[in-house]
Structure 1
Amino acid sequence: MTVWKSPWREREAMKYFPLFADLDGAGVLVVGGGEQAAQKVRLLAKTNAHITVVAEAVTEELSGLAQQGALTVVPRAFRADDVDGQRLVYSATGDRALDAIVAAAARARGVPVNVVDAPELSTFITPAIVDRAPVTVAIGTEGAAPVLAREIKTRLESWLPANLGALATRAQILRATVADSIPDGRARRRVWERLLQGPFRRAVLSGAESDAARIFQAEISGSAAPAVGRVYLIGCGPGDPDLLTLKALQRMQEADVLVIDRLVNPKILDYARRDAERIHVGKTPGRTSTSQSEINRILVREAAAGKVVARLKGGDPLIFGRAAEEMAALQAAHISVEVIPGITTAHACAARVGLPVTLREQVRQFSVVTGTTAHGEPELDWVALAAKGSAFSIYMGVGNAPVIRRNLLSAGAKPETPVVIVENGTQERERSFAATLHDLTDCVDQRHITGPAVIFVGLDWQDAGLRRPETVIVHRRRLRPSGSRRKRQSARRPSYEQERGKTLGLDSQPARRRNHCVPRFRGRLERVHHRGGRCRLPRRGQSAGGPRCLRLRAQPRGGTLSHRGPRNCGTHRAHPLPRARPRRRPPPSSTTCRVMLSPSLRPARPPPLPALRRPLHLRLQRGVRGSRTH
């Protein structure tokens, strides 16, 4: 006979089968009076069970619950007959031997028992619970990974509305009415889907009882009016998905359409419904983007079609988010709108770098201002902002940093006023800088700050007695000499390194000067003499054009010397260093440039390879055998 094998048997079998125990009026025994026992009592206190705690000593929390009548405390040691008549038994003594005795007594009487941190002694385990009574979600890992179960519970707690139980209770009340009004099962299921996913659900969760009753009656009678959508103006915070509020997360999951601002982190969109339509309407300064009037038309159009629209904005929608214009357009179209506040970007960035925005007796007020307007430059009360004891943050102020600096200094602010700039706060590309008001423009330019940034003025860690975080970069102005003698001379002659010839690159060539012999160096030379004109490159401290020579370090053999001389010196020509006996020179000339190898170091034949590191001496002098002319 062929035995059919279920494909599900190929998976690992469940050791624990999930069940929901009815504890209404039932007895539950908890053995132990410590913190572990208190944790079990807190969980059981959400039910209508009769809880009995057996322990010689109990915590103050358990004693207080006993005084309130929430449980009964038996102040003695455990006895086996304590298990009689109980629906469940929990052992949380912390004594493994006593836990084994409790487990054996419960097993002998057929009562399910759970021993804390001892699954081998337990006949059941308590899962992680998401309580939205009458909606209850149980999460278990069969004791393998309780931390994982707790993480899943945390995620579900954030996704499920806190008053989801009210919707289930209302559905339970209306179930009989729906069954009597709509006998067809398929049609009844479609009605329940519309009720629990549409306007009825939103009305119940928002507490609009009258609207919920009206929508239900219209749905049952078959005269339901066309659905009218609604709009949520959601503040998505500074960018970190972990800083989303629970309400913002829940409203995003309800939305059929997402109207997304440019400053919203793309990772936040992963928490929305996958089938939701996404419309990007971000506005970028200086670029072609969606106008505010067009955004208003999109919101009205989508909501009028009966859709739930989530308008996602960075930070808080009511702070420089133009929420008033969108709310006015929606109210004019008789469309419901709800504002979901978000964490303000300024406060989040300040918290990110550990910067208090108010200090007792020092910073008595904190303002949030904008660094740009529709006309370009900000129009602010600079005198009030520059007053002592005032601190403020500037949104969208990077582009107008020079204007902000100039106006604050003109209004009386001190140049050493502390400034903190946080770019892309709370995101992966976050950068933070500390500077002064005097160096604000230099910091923005030299650090290439271009992303969304918040500028804090008048706030410093030292004033609060705090240490500056290591992630904050201190910007110090790069000094540039102004009007100094060295700067004036640098326009006329090369730098000191070029003058001394200590480190000359392959392309180090001074500027050409008429009627002067200007050597060009490639490699490293020992000494250069000039005849037929004044020396182009003086020693340090001597004026240009002096009849001095340069002493240069350099490598032997293989280098080249080229020059530009007077008119009869010809164009640029390169002379390789000689490796053999030089030829006899022609008659000297007063305007001839010469290159020679020192006779004392002239080799009879090419030296071996190790000798290539020995220095050679080159001289330009007149009337010495072995020179070259041109």
Structure 2
Amino acid sequence: MDYLPIFSKINDQPCVIVGGGTVAARKADLFIKAGARVTVIAPELKAEMRFHLEQGKVIWQWGEFSEALMATLERPQLVISATDVQPVNVAVYQYCKARHIPVNVADQTQYCDFILPGIVERGPMTIAVSTGGRSPVLARLMKSRLETLIPHGFSKVTELVGEYRQAVKDKISHPDGRKQFWEGLLNESFLDRVLHGKQQEARQMLEQKLHTDAQTEFSPQGEVYLIGAGPGDPELMTFKALRLLQQADVVVYDRLVSPEILDMARREAERIYVGKRERWHRMPQAKISELLLQLAQEGKKVARLKGGDPYIFGRGAEEAELLAEEGVPFQVVPGITAAAGCAASCDFPLTHRDYSHSVALVTGHQQAGAQKIDYARLAQSGDTMVFYMGIKNAAEIQSELIRHGVSKTIPAAIIENGTRANQKITVVTLDQLSDTIAHNKIQPPALLVIGEVLKVRAKLHQLQAAALLKKPQAAFEVLQVAV
């Protein structure tokens, strides 16, 4: 994050625009909408800025920018320079920096203490979009997309709930009780009434709920959400997972949960890391289960965020058992398991009528005293075999499968950081598996996939290449790359 996104109150505060052209007029317009007292410094004003002047919305200081001129003005809260004269822009920046006045030079982020985002306005509700100055055009495109997604009637929603904010505060004293009230009220039924002009019905709903909630003594009701975060790509999270994650007061997360997914939680939510890796557990599983129980009993909504799916090698059932035993409400939200996510991301299926009619998901990391992997069954089944946590035991997996009759030349894939931007897949034959891992120094987390279905990947790539060659321009580009 390059800039801290904040909303600054500049109502009736002095602000300065240096420049009288079209860009300067648009910057001034934002200050005017925010209620600032705007002074424009420029030797001349173009049409848009002159319109602001004629409307009495700006004060014009005729002349070039100078320290002497600035000394005659009230110290500004914010300054924007938007001129075509670079020495003037630099002089404005240097003047403001020396006096600790926040300054923005239009379209020059190296001379900006703050930037002006793309804005979507729905009455009092304001949504800001920024690329940190990297691409104003992209910010504009995102703004346009948001404009189409958010009905203009949302301004009515904001006005209505704002009207009752103090009444809710007066009647429901507990902050969590007020949060619960608003979360319960702002559902599709209420929003639909406001957006379609049924204000009176919406008011009745609000007042009835307020009366009911105010009469009921608030008692925080804790709950645990066992959420599958998927294999890494944030876009593979489900809508339900995202919704519950954003409701949580506390997020308890694993090592395999990507930072991008963690950032989707509410910023004010507490984050507790309980990641585990081989021979190093920040918190033993029993303690994690007890932590979830304790937090829920304190009345908190707890998101237990796990990589993949909580019920596929995620030990989610062990956590659910303790919660069920203690009568704590919980929900399980399935996630895309690594096998499915990595297969799709790496261009091969897990089953295919020409190669495999079933798939076996196997944990390659065996705890002491645990049931051993039935390599004989795997070898005879014809399954596509997917080994989770199998990197450290790859040599055993390779030798045991071959010993029980699996062909040495069957394809085997090693998938590192599956579905993420730095994903890497290495396809070899089974007899090369452990040597490849050792030679390339591959470390967990990585997934091992063994099966004839991997041949589909090569076939798909060949078909794509052939299709490209049928297009003259694409064929030329392919030849260029080859050269």
Q: TM-score, normalised by structure 2?
A: 0.58
CA distance in 1, matches of 2:129, 2:401: 61
Q: Is the 8 A contact 1:258 1:278 kept in 2?
A: yes
Map of 2:14 onto structure 1: 7
CA distance in 2, matches of 1:216, 1:383: 64
CA distance in 2, matches of 1:374, 1:234: 24
- Secondary structure of 2:359's counterpart equals strand
Map of 1:327 onto structure 2: 320
CA distance in 2, matches of 1:428, 1:239: 9
Q: Is the 8 A contact 1:261 1:312 kept in 2?
A: yes
1:135, distance to aligned residue in structure 2 (A)? 12
CA distance in 1, matches of 2:284, 2:421: 29
2:285 pairs with 1:292: yes
Go from structure 1 to structure 2 and tell me whether the alpha carbon gap of 1:230 and 1:463 turns closer, same or farther (over 3 Å shift): closer
Go from structure 1 to structure 2 and tell me whether the alpha carbon gap of 1:377 and 1:309 turns closer, same or farther (over 3 Å shift): closer
2:179 pairs with 1:197: yes
1:13, distance to aligned residue in structure 2 (A)? 3.0
Structure 1 unaligned spans of 5+: 19-126, 471-630
Map of 1:536 onto structure 2: none
Q: Is the 8 A contact 1:352 1:426 kept in 2?
A: yes
CA distance in 1, matches of 2:208, 2:398: 59
Choose which of 450, 459, 473 in structure 2 pairs with 1:457.
Answer: 450
Q: Is the 8 A contact 1:416 1:437 kept in 2?
A: yes
Choose which of 127, 139, 151 in structure 2 pairs with 1:148.
Answer: 139
Choose which of 134, 152, 170 in structure 2 pairs with 1:188.
Answer: 170
Go from structure 1 to structure 2 and tell me whether the alpha carbon gap of 1:307 and 1:406 turns closer, same or farther (over 3 Å shift): same
Which residues in structure 2 correspond to 1:80-99 (within 5 Å)? none
Which residues in structure 2 correspond to 1:216-295 (within 5 Å)? 219-221=213-215, 223-295=216-288
* CA distances 1:165-185 after superposition (whole Å, capped 9, x unpaired): 9xx79x97x999x89xxxx84
* CA distances 1:147-200 after superposition (whole Å, capped 9, x unpaired): 534424767999x9x9xx9xx79x97x999x89xxxx84843756965562266
Map of 2:3 onto structure 1: none
1:438, distance to aligned residue in structure 2 (A)? 1.4
> Which letter maps to 1:333?
E
> Which letter maps to 1:220?
A
1:469, distance to aligned residue in structure 2 (A)? 12
Choose which of 339, 345, 351 in structure 2 pairs with 1:352.
Answer: 345
1:468, distance to aligned residue in structure 2 (A)? 7.7
> Which letter maps to 1:151?
M
Q: Is the 8 A contact 2:174 2:218 kept in 1?
A: no
Q: How many residues align?
A: 337
- Secondary structure of 2:314's counterpart equals coil
Q: Is the 8 A contact 1:353 1:469 kept in 2?
A: no
1:336, distance to aligned residue in structure 2 (A)? 1.5
Go from structure 1 to structure 2 and tell me whether the alpha carbon gap of 1:425 and 1:155 turns closer, same or farther (over 3 Å shift): farther
1:251, distance to aligned residue in structure 2 (A)? 2.2
CA distance in 2, matches of 1:289, 1:390: 35
CA distance in 2, matches of 1:245, 1:307: 22
Map of 2:413 onto structure 1: 420
* CA distances 1:74-117 after superposition (whole Å, capped 9, x unpaired): xxxxxxxxxxxxxxxxxxxxxxxxxxxxxxxxxxxxxxxxxxxx
CA distance in 1, matches of 2:373, 2:121: 51
1:317, distance to aligned residue in structure 2 (A)? 1.3
> Which letter maps to 1:466?
L
- Secondary structure of 1:312's counterpart equals strand
Structure 2 unaligned spans of 5+: 1-10, 18-23, 34-117, 190-205, 465-483
Q: Is the 8 A contact 2:120 2:146 kept in 1?
A: no
Which residues in structure 2 correspond to 1:43-58 (within 5 Å)? none
CA distance in 2, matches of 1:7, 1:424: 52
Go from structure 1 to structure 2 and tell me whether the alpha carbon gap of 1:175 and 1:242 turns closer, same or farther (over 3 Å shift): closer
CA distance in 1, matches of 2:137, 2:391: 48
Choose which of 332, 338, 345 in structure 1 pairs with 2:331.
Answer: 338
1:283, distance to aligned residue in structure 2 (A)? 1.7
Go from structure 1 to structure 2 and tell me whether the alpha carbon gap of 1:7 and 1:384 turns closer, same or farther (over 3 Å shift): same
2:460 pairs with 1:466: yes
CA distance in 2, matches of 1:411, 1:147: 56
Go from structure 1 to structure 2 and tell me whether the alpha carbon gap of 1:136 and 1:392 turns closer, same or farther (over 3 Å shift): farther
* CA distances 1:443-501 after superposition (whole Å, capped 9, x unpaired): 2222212221111010454346223899xxxxxxxxxxxxxxxxxxxxxxxxxxxxxxx
1:389, distance to aligned residue in structure 2 (A)? 4.1
CA distance in 1, matches of 2:147, 2:269: 20
Go from structure 1 to structure 2 and tell me whether the alpha carbon gap of 1:192 and 1:388 turns closer, same or farther (over 3 Å shift): closer
1:136, distance to aligned residue in structure 2 (A)? 8.9
- Secondary structure of 2:461's counterpart equals coil
> Which letter maps to 2:28?
A
Q: Is the 8 A contact 1:237 1:243 kept in 2?
A: yes
Q: Is the 8 A contact 1:422 1:432 kept in 2?
A: yes
Map of 1:365 onto structure 2: 358
Q: TM-score, normalised by structure 1?
A: 0.46
CA distance in 1, matches of 2:231, 2:307: 6
- RMSD between aligned residues: 4.4
- Secondary structure of 2:227's counterpart equals strand
CA distance in 1, matches of 2:234, 2:250: 19
Q: Which has the higher contact order (CA 8 A, sep 6+)?
A: 2
CA distance in 2, matches of 1:368, 1:14: 60
